[in-house]
Amino acid sequence: MITVAVAGGTGGIGKTIVEEIARSGRYEVVVLSRKPSTIPGLGVPVVAADYNDIASFTRLLQERNVEIVISSLGLFSEESAQAQLNLIHAAIASTTVKKFIPSEFGIRYTKDILSFYPAGQWWIDAADLLRESHLQFTRIILGWTLDHYGIPGVPSNMNPFSYAIDFHNHRAAIPGDGKAPVAFLHSSDLAKYILAMLEQDSWPEYSAFAGDRMSWGDLLKLAEEVTGTKWDVTYDPIEKLEKGEGTVLEQPKGAMELPEEALRHLWCEFGIMADKGLMDITTEGLRNREFPHVSPLTVREVVETAWGQKE
């Protein structure tokens, strides 16, 4: 049986990928983590790995006979970006790894976005390293994770994050005029697409998957319809976002803890990205049709399940 290692498989997106692959029974799964632990109920080993020691990481991949590495590291700092680069170096140096999926799961990160989103360089560097190597790789893009609008009513391992639309307080802070379309995919569907792709012999450089496409303005209308209330709404023009003055919504309990300024910064970057239409990855040649057995959740399905009036 082929062994798949999920680095960062203890985290929000990674854990769902681990669950999907492990439950299929078609692959050996091992989670790579900075500390050993267990994922209850799955019988998947969580193995301690030192991201700062490429040689020992290489040996670990070989000892476990890992053929496919899926990185789901939370890339939220220079340190984590370097950890992923070291993981790629170890995969390249190993004699066993043939395929690699870097942790992206966002928009198409290109040099064009660096002027307002310098962190984009982390994903570009990883892709450059993979492109120069002998490894097969694919960069998965999905737009915006749909989980944020279903937690806690729709199961997800991700941390809650109220971006643009806050169902808890019926408030919205919309980037721009809210008309630019955004692509959405739930992490449970991302995991299904990844499992399906593991069967394929070769991968294209980009794999774009979307569950739905909707503007923030239309999501707001849907939210008001489903909750049966009129919401308190702020629109942040692009000039305001460019000055780093976006309206940050209150974050729910359990959200990733970031210093206020760092959150505002990220918030404005996401807002610019959305307003420029870059979150609409449906223009990138979706691969959904290759896997017709996956019926991804729509925005309406998630919102109605999580926030609809109960009988």
Ligand X SMILES: NC(=O)c1ccc[n+]([C@@H]2O[C@H](COP(=O)([O-])OP(=O)(O)OC[C@H]3O[C@@H](n4cnc5c(N)ncnc54)[C@H](OP(=O)(O)O)[C@@H]3O)[C@@H](O)[C@H]2O)c1
- Chain contacts with ligand X (rule: CB under 6 A): 8, 10-14, 33-34, 51, 72-75, 79-80, 83, 103-106, 144-145, 158
Q: Closer to ligand X by CB, 83 or 135: give it.
A: 83
Q: Closer to ligand X by CB, 130 or 311: give it.
A: 130
Three-state SS for 192-260 is HHHHHHHCCCCCCCEEECCCEEEEHHHHHHHHHHHHCCCCEEEEECHHHHHCCCCCCCCCCCCCCCCCH
Instruction: Give min distance, CB of 76 to ligand X, in A.
Output: 6
**Residue least distant from ligand X (Cβ):** 11
Q: Where are the alpha helices (DSSP H) in 1-105?
A: 12-24, 54-63, 78-93
Instruction: Give min distance, CB of 55 to ligand X, in A.
Output: 17
Q: Are 142 and 210 in contact (CB under 8 A)?
A: yes
Instruction: Give min distance, CB of 244 to ligand X, in A.
Output: 20
Q: Closer to ligand X by CB, 80 or 136: give it.
A: 80
Least Cα distance to 234 among 174, 162, 168, 163 occurs for 174
Instruction: Give min distance, CB of 309 to ligand X, in A.
Output: 27
Least Cα distance to 265 among 116, 161, 141 occurs for 116
Instruction: Give min distance, CB of 81 to ligand X, in A.
Output: 8
Q: Closer to ligand X by CB, 99 or 139: give it.
A: 139
Q: Closer to ligand X by CB, 83 or 220: give it.
A: 83
Instruction: Give min distance, CB of 229 to ligand X, in A.
Output: 26
Instruction: Give min distance, CB of 184 to ligand X, in A.
Output: 9
Q: Closer to ligand X by CB, 72 or 251: give it.
A: 72
Q: How many CB atoms lie under 10 A from the CB of residue 308?
A: 14
Q: Closer to ligand X by CB, 33 or 94: give it.
A: 33
Task: State how far the alpha carbon of 23 is from the alpha carbons of 18, 52, 76, 187, 228, in Å.
Answer: 8, 31, 29, 16, 38
Task: State how far the alpha carbon of 157 is from the alpha carbons of 83, 130, 237, in Å.
Answer: 22, 28, 33
Q: Where are the alpha helices (DSSP H) in 69-142?
A: 78-93, 120-132
Three-state secondary structure call for residue 48 = strand
